[in-house]
Amino acid sequence: MSTTTPMSRPHLNTELPRVSTGEKLDETKAERSIRRRHFRGRLDYKYSPYLYISPFFILFGLVGLFPLVYTFVVSINDWDLLGGAGEWVGLANYKAELTSPLFWNSLFNTFSIFLLSSIPQLVIATFIAAMLDQNLRAKTFWRMSVLVPYVVTPVAVTLIFSSAFDEKYGLINNLLGALNIDPVAWKTSVFPSHMAIATMVNWRWTGYNALILLAAMQAVPRELHESAAIDGAGMIRRFFSITLPSIRPTMIFVIITATIGGLQIFTEPKLFNPSSSVPGGPDRQYQTTVLYLWDLAFNRGDFGRASAVAWMLFLIIIVIGLINFLVSGSIASSSEKKKGRGTSKVTTKRAGRNAPQARIQSPAGSMKGSSTDE
């Protein structure tokens, strides 16, 4: 018998391929580069927004925050214009100004001019914005013409109005004389001088505020006005019920900016009467707080008291701004409550109207059911 030899099977290589040290180094370098990219991506995602907004805060710190802190430091020292820093006096400058009649006179003049300018300014600006929001011909022309007074420099505006309100040869007194009205002492009396300065402020800033309010009015959906018009609401009712509640945030912004600008008025009273040696009139009848601050710093050379006045005015502006914000917020919440009550009343009325219809339809439905059963 012949013997058969089994076929020789091929030998399987079970060993893993060997990796050289160079390949291992390449893999570690690739992993490190991937980790670095992920780390940089996470850093970019977390910290790049802060880097983008950092220029604003840097400029604010240099131009806004540092002068504010430095002014407070000056206010608690006996600081002279020529001599520089003196001895530390604490709150003596604040006490001296709070007991000074000139400070309270400037504060009264500031608030008087502010009220005479801001309230009519906002009312007229709202009316102009409502008119420009209508379908008028040459809309661009009217909007640009409203903005022209804002483009004119305040110095030119003040000089023009100063000559117009001149007591002897001014245009306003000449017009009053033509109407057999006695001339008004625009530059020597208290209330007429406040009216004249408020007129300058209103002429310059009304158009600017009107365009801001116009932009807010154009953002109100037209469907609200159309549905209100279909329901029978007139133009005035739509304005007070739809337009004004819709532009409330913009109105708050305009009120706050007008408050800040009105309490910091300087150019108009400074140049209103250039012939007067005393800034703010012969009897300081229209000397505002900022003008009084300037007089303390540069005419009297008392930087310490001037810095104290600046800080007190800063605190007054913050308090008035907070009051405006709280009052506007309370008005907004009360109006929302009224809206909620009105919607609940409407839903109850609709439910009351739909109830008889349901009662009328129910017997028909029962008859249909009985007929199908039969």
Could you write out the three-class secondary structure of the chain? Answer: CCCCCCCCCCCCCCCCCCCCHHHHHHHHHHHHHHHHHHHHHHHHHHHHHHHHHHHHHHHHHHHHHHHHHHHHHHHCECCECCCECCCECCCHHHHHHHCCHHHHHHHHHHHHHHHHHHHHHHHHHHHHHHHHCCCCCCHHHHHHHHHHHHHCCHHHHHHHHHHHCCCCCCHHHHHHHHCCCCCCCCCCCHHHHHHHHHHHHHHHHHHHHHHHHHHHHHCCCHHHHHHHHHCCCCHHHHHHHHHHHHCHHHHHHHHHHHHHHHHCCCHHHHHCCCCCCCCCCCCCCCCCHHHHHHHHHHHCCEHHHHHHHHHHHHHHHHHHHHHHHHHHHHHHHHHHHHHHHHHHHHHHHHHHHHHHHHHHHHHHHHHHHHHHHC
pLDDT of 110: 94
Cβ neighbours of 332 (radius 10 Å): 14
pTM check: above 0.95: no
Provide the residue type at 123 as one letter: V
Cα dist from 73 to 67, 83, 97, 303, 330, whole Å: 10, 16, 17, 11, 37
C-beta of residue 150 within 8 angstroms of C-beta of residue 161: no
List, in order, residues 6 or more apart from 337 with CB less than 8 Å away: none
C-beta of residue 309 within 8 angstroms of C-beta of residue 292: yes
List, in order, residues 6 or more apart from 91 with CB less than 8 Å away: 76
Rounded (10°) angle between helices 66-75 and 303-373: 130
Cβ neighbours of 132 (radius 10 Å): 18
pLDDT tens across the length of the chain (374 residues):
444 444 545 544 455 455 455 555 555 767 777 777 776 777 777 777 888 888 888 998 888 889 899 999 999 988 877 777 778 888 999 999 999 999 999 999 999 999 999 999 999 999 999 988 888 787 888 888 888 888 888 888 888 898 999 888 889 999 998 999 888 999 888 999 999 999 999 998 999 999 999 999 988 888 888 888 888 888 888 888 888 888 888 988 898 889 888 999 998 899 898 888 888 888 899 999 999 999 998 888 888 999 999 999 999 999 988 888 788 777 666 666 665 554 454 445 555 555 545 444 444 444 444 444 43
pLDDT of 352: 55
Q: Which residues pair with 302 in a beta bridge?
A: 80
Rounded to whole angstroms, the Cα distance separating 67 from 78 reads: 18
pLDDT of 363: 46
pLDDT of 314: 93
Rounded to whole angstroms, the Cα distance separating 251 from 331 reads: 12
C-beta of residue 186 within 8 angstroms of C-beta of residue 132: no
Structural tokens at position 90: 């604490």
pLDDT of 24: 55
pLDDT of 368: 42
pLDDT of 2: 47
pLDDT of 127: 92
Rounded to whole angstroms, the Cα distance separating 36 from 30 reads: 10
